[in-house]
Amino acid sequence: MNHYPIPRDYPEYQSPPKKVSDGRRFSIYAALDAVFIVVALGLALWLAYILLVGSFVWSVKLVIPLTFGWATLAYLALPRLHQLFTLLYVPNYFIGRTKTVDGILGDPVNLAFDGTETDVHAAMRNAGWVPADPITLRSSWNIIISSVFGTSYPRAPVSDLYLFDTKQDFAYQQEVSGNASQRHHVRFWRVPEGWVLPGGHRADWLAAGTYDRSVGFSSFTFQFTHKVDADTDLERDYIVKTLRFSDHDIGVEVIRDFSTAYHQRNGGGDKINTDGNLPIIDVRDAAHRTPMPAAKKSLRKWKDPADHGVPPVSLLVAGGLLVLNIVGAIQLGIVALTGQDWGWLLIDDGADEPWWILLLMPFMSLIEIFLLVGTLLRHKWARIGLMVLCVISAVQTLVALTGETTSFRAVLFAFLSVFVVLGVSGDKVREWVSGEHTTLRTKQQA
């Protein structure tokens, strides 16, 4: 069919119809939420500037502001900055790449699987692969110890990458040299119901396999991370060969030139390259051919605590810090009334503050706790009010920090105050308050 026949007359440009509304209404809450996202980024950059540049005086105590300055930049400011920028220019449809939690393009999608989840687990375990632990405080600490001291951790967790707006369903790995600094690993995502790959190809699972060659710093955020080997095709082919060697009935169909061959960088800034081919691995009935051996740990997928009604960790941490703040504020109020000097105050002793401010601080802290409880109960305007007070507190702390960066207590409370603002204004808390997390989970399970 000829979609572009030769016109008889010179073409005349047809004006497009008037813009059709997308149905979304202006929301004051959404606008304020966006403002606080940017404000939190500004506070983090301000703190990083104070610690790294604003008071750079050579001394032994310089290690305090430099350490907190790096932590502020790497774990607070730059991730939020990347989130804002990538939201504007990184596409949200399938382009054969995963995304990091900050929205940066991650590892390439270089494998597809046909078969049930049980079949995938049976095939991978039979081929000598080990399921990765979920990311918890304990598993994160264990992988740090393994990487630094060279101890074995075969089930070391992998960082979260996102495809179809969800993090990987599970991941497998093979440890190299007896420690977690080098390893083969592959993440798996279930393909949404009815979704097809470009070109009309179908698969039940998509996967991204890469090889961790060492531990280093991310080029984009300066966070500690694994450095990925550039030739991702070698890891892709290695995964296919281990599966075929262990189970000769596993079939493979290769889609040639599924994507354009390219040289790029992943979410950690590491160079990657691929020829663009996509193997589709048929593991159907693998569970019947090679039943999974009994394991001490269940292969049940780790669920987000929010699935069980548990608030996000960032909101719980912010609540804990606010509780400490109110205890300190009450102590200051007692000091103002009794005139006694308590050397173990949890916050600054307030010696230069007027008495009426010292008496007002406990009441302001009580309001913060009231708004925190409202946020935990998912009242969106309580969250807005909480962010307002947290921003005011953070600004006061940053102003007071100027010229006092060698004080560990001053630096610590400045860092924590900015962390609270970033946490309360973050995506996890917004989803918790608005119920977006529950809605997304329901759609995925439907």
pLDDT digits (tens, 9 = 90+) for 26-54: 788 888 888 998 898 898 888 888 877 75
Range of the domain at 337: 28-87+308-445
Within-domain flag for 23? no
In tens, the pLDDT along 340-375 reads 555 444 444 444 555 555 556 667 777 888 888 899
Note whether 151 and 105 are same-domain residues: yes
Note whether 294 and 325 are same-domain residues: no
Both tokens of 306, joined, read 């929010």
Kindly state the greatest CA–CA separation across the chain: 96
Sort strands 205-217 and 179-190 into parallel, antiparallel or unpaired: antiparallel
Note whether 246 and 382 are same-domain residues: no
Q: pLDDT at position 329, please? A: 62
Are 266 and 230 in contact by the 8 Å Cβ rule? The answer is no
- What gap in Å lies between CA 217 and CA 70, rounded to an integer? 12
R_g over Cα of the chain: 26
Sort strands 170-176 and 179-190 into parallel, antiparallel or unpaired: antiparallel
Q: How confident is the model at residue 81 (pLDDT cuts 50, 70, 90)?
A: confident
Cβ neighbourhood burial of 89 (10 Å; 0-12, 13-18, 19+): exposed
Q: Which of 292, 286, 236, 242 is nearest to 259 (CA)?
A: 236
Note whether 156 and 289 are same-domain residues: yes
Both tokens of 308, joined, read 């069980």
Q: How confident is the model at residue 279 (pLDDT cuts 50, 70, 90)?
A: very high
Note whether 82 and 106 are same-domain residues: no
Size of the chain in residues = 446
In tens, the pLDDT along 281-320 reads 999 999 988 776 555 444 444 455 444 467 887 788 778 8
pTM over 0.85: no
From 238, 270, 302, give the residue that closes a domain. 302
Q: pLDDT at position 446, please? A: 44
Q: Which of 189, 200, 160, 164 is nearest to 79 (CA)?
A: 160
- The number of folded domains in the chain is 2
Note whether 155 and 126 are same-domain residues: yes
Note whether 98 and 57 are same-domain residues: no
Within-domain flag for 179? yes
From 272, 302, 332, give the residue that closes a domain. 302
Both tokens of 16, joined, read 């497009």
Rounded mean pLDDT of 264-271? Answer: 66
